[in-house]
Amino acid sequence: MVSLGAHAHFNTFGMMSGAESAVNQATIAFAGEGSKVETNGVNLLNGKQHADTTLFLDHAVPNCSSVKSPRRGR
């Protein structure tokens, strides 16, 4: 779990590849006003490969922002 204070900026990138089945779960909490999160990721899968990504963003305080940019590669 990641917890962000006031005016924090958190930028993360995740990549999943090469597994028959894969799971990724993340929790990010906005604990201070003015914080910002940018999440980026890509799943590089083929054939019968499977990947699940769960992202929980807890906007517990006002004036925070989040941008999510998942991608699927082939």
pLDDT at 6: 98
- Global pTM value: 0.80
pLDDT at 60: 95
pLDDT at 74: 55
**How high is the mean pLDDT in each 10-residue block of the chain (74 residues)?**
97 89 93 96 89 92 90 61
Token reading at 8: 């924090």
31-50 in b/e form (b: 16+ CB < 10 A) is: bbebbebebebbbebeeeee
